Amino acid sequence: MTIAGFDPSGGAGVLADIKTISAFGCYGVAAVTSLTVQNTQQVFATHHRDPAIVRRQIEALTDDFEIAAIKTGMFPTAEIVFEVARTIAPRAASIVLVDPVLTSTSGFDLCDEGVVNALTSSLFPLASLVTPNIAEAARITGLDIRNDATMHRAAEAILKMGARAALITGGDAGSDSSTDFLLDAEGASTFSAERVNSTNTHGTGCTLASAIACLLARGHSLREAIPVAKQYVSEAILHAPRLGHGRGPLNHFSRWFER
């Protein structure tokens, strides 16, 4: 189950999550936290759902389906974060992956004041894994992340907030490679891939997090899941359909996992 915002261009949010979930041979359901007005070029506006409506969506789905994993994305208000945490805590699947989506690629702030504190205090303690990019990790921890040492400190800070694991993604770091930093009870690990130079990168964070959630649900370990998910994102960028006039959507392969 994905709990996230709705991007009508299909590049990010619940639509990207569902496409990824299908590609990995799983069945996806979704609870929508916010309706956004956006295309591949920018976010124009957001219309947030009432927290009670978000809760009722989750309750309806968990009452009917056996949820193998929960993946969260955009939370526009602290009230929605607290409501989601209260709702999934007694129903939580063994896998809860929190992707703390705070700002759009075009620079539009997707959350109100107080969302970061709500995430760290109520949702991180339920999280099997938190997957911020460098900018999000810096905002969450208050650290200036410039190198491996500060990335390690940021991951440690996220674990101290209650998460069982933190994966800080380096796709937006600007180097020749995309290197992600994982910290969990087993220690620290890095995962690198060659950077794909492309403007068709809309929804990479949503896609990576959803892919990891699916692989964990299918029984893979975290260290097995991350490189496979990174490979999927790289291929999705390489084979993007080049739609729209801005940062285009990825190519979500049909039944990619069964190739």
Q: Tell me which residue has tokens 């220690």.
A: 187
Q: Which tokens is 116 given?
A: 């970061």
Q: Which domain holds residue 20?
A: 2-253
> Over the Cα atoms of the chain, what is R_g?
17
65 lies in some domain: yes
Is residue 143 in some structural domain? yes
The structural domain count of the chain equals: 1
pLDDT tens sequence across 126-146:
999 999 999 999 999 999 998
Classify residue 259: in a domain, yes or no. Answer: no
Q: Can you give the pLDDT at residue 17?
A: 97
Q: How far apart are CA 193 and CA 233, in angstroms?
A: 10
Least confident of 63-67, 182-186, 187-191, 197-201: 197-201
CA distance readout (Å), 236 to 26, 165, 209, 221: 18, 25, 14, 22
Whether the per-residue pLDDT at 150 is higher than 80: the answer is: yes
Cα 155 to Cα 141: distance, rounded to the nearest angstrom = 9
Q: What is the mean pLDDT of the chain?
A: 92
Instruction: Please indicate, yes or no, if residue 258 is contained in any of the structural domains.
Output: no
CATH code of residue 129: 3.40.1190.20
- Report pLDDT for 58: 97
Residues 190 and 226 sit within 8 Å (Cβ to Cβ): no
pLDDT at 188 over 90: yes
Q: Which residue has the higher pLDDT, 233 or 193?
A: 233
The 10s digit of each residue's pLDDT in 194-212 is 888 888 888 899 999 999 9
Instruction: Convert the pLDDT of each residue in 86-112 to its tens digit.
Output: 999 998 789 999 999 887 665 667 777
How long a stretch of residues is the chain?
259
Q: Which two tokens stand for residue 141?
A: 């921890």
